Amino acid sequence: MFVKLTQHEIKRYNWMIWKVAIAFLLFIALIFTLTAFGVFGSLPSFRDLENPKSNQASEIISSDKKVLGKYFVQNRSSVTYNQISPNVINALIATEDNRFLKHSGIDFGRTFTIIFYNLIGKKQGGSTITQQLALNLFSERSRNFTTRIRQKLQEWVIAVQLERRYTKEEILTMYLNTVDFGAYNTFGISSAAATYFNTTPDKLTPDQAALLIGMINGPGIYSPIRHPDNAVKRRNFVLRRMAEENFLSDGQAEEFKAKPMGLNFHPTDHNEGLATYFRSVLKKDVQKILNEQDLHKSDGTSYDLDRDGLKIYTTVNYTMQQYAEAAQKEYMKQLQVQFNQHWRGRSLWKGIPDFKARLNEGMKRSDRYRALNQQGKSEEEILEDFNTPAQMNLFTWHGDIDTTMKPIDSIVYSKLLLRNAMMSMDPNTGFVKAWVGGIDYEHFKYDQVKMGTRQVGSTAKPFTYAVAIEQAAFSPCMQVNNVPDTIYGYGKPWCPRSNPSETVQGMITLRKALARSQNWVTAHVMKEVGPEPVMQLIKKMGVTSKVDPYPTICLGVFDASVFDMTGAYSAFANEGLWTEPTYLLRIEDKNGNLLYEHKPRVVQAMNPQAAYVMTYMLKGVVDEGTGWRLRSKYGLRNPIGGKTGTTQNNSDGWFIGITPQLVTGVWTGCEDRSIHFRSTNLGEGANTALPIFALYMKKVYADASLGIKQNVDFAQPKGGVGITLDCNAYNQQQQGTAEVDNKLGF
């Protein structure tokens, strides 16, 4: 039964409804106002809104403008709006906020329809893209209902403020730069594009964009790696929404739905990617610079390399780094097989005198030993643990393997792995182009380019010859009788040994003596010039390790790094000018403001004439000496100089090669010097180091885009060369001198 209301009653009820509605709106306005004034919790200041904080990865940028790697807590890199494909923008708007371009931060129409949609089984979020950005930038979603209500109110206020201060394009860009794409430490569209498709955001296709945008609401459940079926369904939903919003035609949407995911998965990890050793050394250098230069942000706080999005510009060439790492892997894989076969069937304990001590040392330096020691385990208990089979992950040149073995056996395995390091640089600028500090950063983190030093062997011989050429004007054509020559006056009399099978008998030229690495002739030259000038030249050429002024330095008994030795040889190729090897150019903040710029030191180590003569001497090593296999086996016919080096007992193998545009140093050896090849024909630098240089140079020369030319020779100094390099002319000069001496009665 219906009761007919009078006109007066209708007016009264209408007024009551209006009062409730007005009261509700006033209440909402009050709550909104109180929230805006921080009554329910502090809100970001105007300055915070102008400079929203997000953990942004610092990027290491190569000389050819590619990202070598990143330092991060969260793998996040920012991009501009123009660097994002319209497919990404369309997918985001269609799926997350189709009225984004029409509202001012809060979509009240959408907010009040949430209850209706949820009641009929259609789940829909009420947050706009701007509100989601507010949450991403300034808080974390709470699971407490009361706290979440307060957060929602704050999101509304912040969203309105963001809309007032930023354009729609800026808000979309900020959102896509901050959103979490789930596992593998992937934050922001740039990292997501690189991780899942190995591409950049501007190149994402509609189906790729749909897959990534589909992950936003559930990066775990919609992960294309862990839940590929869910990911495909979600991608197809996003494609359908793009069609419904007229960003795609129905036909295009169906075509993209039929495609496979097409993942090109490249998870970012500090242990993976290019130049891992270089990035590790660089990080320490940058942190040191930030501290010593007292560099601060505008708010007075210190820069955080892992969070503040710095841009670190380096000299390393991305392509040349790839070639260097590929050359190392290609040859070290073969060399390790040679080493394993060389020791197969032989007792390591008998063949290596201090093997037990080296094994014990390796055990005590391991993470496993330190962990057990911290747990209070006794030496007996620790030893028992090391002799109990356990799950191990081992490095091999065919990829890491999971296996079960005794931890002590894994140390034996590691000790018998040959290590290798190489560095390549431009001798004219000092710019380092490639840096390979070891064989695998994940398993062996010690950098052998700059941090490690090893005995340099015969690669030190050119320093002695250079002093003789510069100070005594010795000609490479000068002949010396290749016999023992004892040096006195520096403690115990010293005369080096010379392997009979490698000794060239009789009178030989200095060029041939260096080419064939003859110890007796080198000692004779040292006797003529003295150790002090040689030591001084070595220091001028940038070797920072200790070099004592004794005659033995002519045979390289001192230790030095690949970094220093490669830099030293660059002076030969650069008219005697040593330019400090440089790998860091400048550091900028995330907005492109210059924070630091490196200026390399330059030293005139020797005169241009002596440097040019030394390039002629070093070319002899390749043309007729220990570096001959560069010609015979690897077919490199262009002007190349270099020097092999092999230390006592074949513990270290070296090759440093020079060309007018590149100088490259290579070292190979085991972690412990007592573990090595037993024969020189296998352990010499010509076999353990030179091939990596050859493979690297072949790759570099084959890539014309690098501009490293083969038909270029070392330039003569502008003042000419007063030292005779033509041995026929030199012999005639010497013969004429002898005739004059006879006539004068000398």
User: Can you give the CATH number for the domain in which 89 is found?
Assistant: 1.10.3810.10
Percentage of the chain lying above the pLDDT 90 cut: 63
Q: What is the pLDDT of residues 329-383, one digit of tens each?
A: 999 999 999 999 999 989 888 889 899 999 999 999 988 898 888 898 899 999 9
**pLDDT band at 35, cuts 50/70/90?**
very low
| Lowest-pLDDT range of 296-305, 307-316, 412-421, 497-506 | 296-305
Nearest-angstrom CA–CA distance, 732 and 739: 11
Percentage of the chain lying above the pLDDT 70 cut: 85
Do both 31 and 99 map to the same domain? no
The predicted pLDDT at position 586 comes to 97
Do both 541 and 670 map to the same domain? yes
Which element (helix H / strand E) includes 370?
helix 367-374
Cross-strand pairs, 648:
none
Q: Is the pLDDT of residue 296 over 90?
A: no
Which residues, 6 or more positions from 617, have their beta carbon under 8 angstroms from its beta carbon?
462, 465, 469, 476, 510, 511, 514, 515, 641
The predicted pLDDT at position 116 comes to 46
Number of folded domains that form the chain: 3
The CA radius of gyration of the chain, in Å to the nearest whole number, is 35
**pLDDT band at 46, cuts 50/70/90?**
very low
Residue 100 inside a domain? The answer is yes
Which residues, 6 or more positions from 501, have their beta carbon under 8 angstroms from its beta carbon?
none
Do both 585 and 471 map to the same domain? yes
Q: Is the pLDDT of residue 109 over 70?
A: no
Residue 600 inside a domain? The answer is yes
Do both 503 and 628 map to the same domain? yes
| Lowest-pLDDT range of 14-23, 302-311, 320-329, 583-592 | 14-23
Average pLDDT score over the chain: 87
For 564-582, the DSSP string reads: HHHHHHHHHHTTTEEE--B
**pLDDT band at 287, cuts 50/70/90?**
very high
Do both 450 and 573 map to the same domain? yes
Q: Is the pLDDT of residue 38 over 60?
A: no
Range of the domain at 465: 444-728
Q: Is the pLDDT of residue 641 over 70?
A: yes
**pLDDT band at 25, cuts 50/70/90?**
low
Do both 133 and 187 map to the same domain? yes
Residue 530 inside a domain? The answer is yes
Do both 533 and 621 map to the same domain? yes
**pLDDT band at 226, cuts 50/70/90?**
confident
Residue 93 inside a domain? The answer is yes
**Mean pLDDT along residues 192-199:** 90
Q: Is the pLDDT of residue 49 over 90?
A: no
Nearest-angstrom CA–CA distance, 519 and 309: 54
Q: Is the pLDDT of residue 316 over 80?
A: yes
The predicted pLDDT at position 104 comes to 67
Q: 131 or 319, which is more confident? A: 319
The Cβ-side half-sphere exposure at 292, using a 13 Å CA radius, reads 7
Do both 84 and 141 map to the same domain? yes
Do both 95 and 35 map to the same domain? no
Please give the C-alpha separations between residue 402 and each of 219, 392, 410, 694, in angstroms, as whole numbers: 29, 6, 12, 33
Single out the residue in 237, 258, 279 at which a domain terminates.
Answer: 258
User: Can you give the CATH number for the domain in which 595 is found?
Assistant: 3.40.710.10
Q: Is the pLDDT of residue 143 over 60?
A: no
Q: What is the pLDDT of residues 146-189, one digit of tens each?
A: 554 556 666 667 777 777 788 889 888 888 988 888 766 788 89
Residue 614 inside a domain? The answer is yes
Single out the residue in 258, 292, 319 at which a domain terminates.
Answer: 258
The predicted pLDDT at position 736 comes to 62
Do both 11 and 114 map to the same domain? no
Residue 358 inside a domain? The answer is no
Q: What secondary structure, in 3-state letters, does 299-343 show?
A: CCCECCCCCECCEEEECCCHHHHHHHHHHHHHHHHHHHHHHHHHH
**Mean pLDDT along residues 290-294:** 89
Q: Is the pLDDT of residue 746 over 60?
A: no
Do both 628 and 498 map to the same domain? yes
Residue 23 inside a domain? The answer is yes
**Mean pLDDT along residues 529-546:** 97
Residue 333 inside a domain? The answer is no
The predicted pLDDT at position 122 comes to 43
Nearest-angstrom CA–CA distance, 473 and 595: 47
Single out the residue in 233, 258, 283 at which a domain terminates.
Answer: 258
Do both 674 and 550 map to the same domain? yes
Q: Is the pLDDT of residue 222 over 50?
A: yes
Q: What is the pLDDT of residues 70-104, one digit of tens each?
A: 888 777 778 889 999 999 999 999 998 888 888 76
Task: Using a cut of 0.85, tell me whether the model's pTM lies above it.
Answer: no
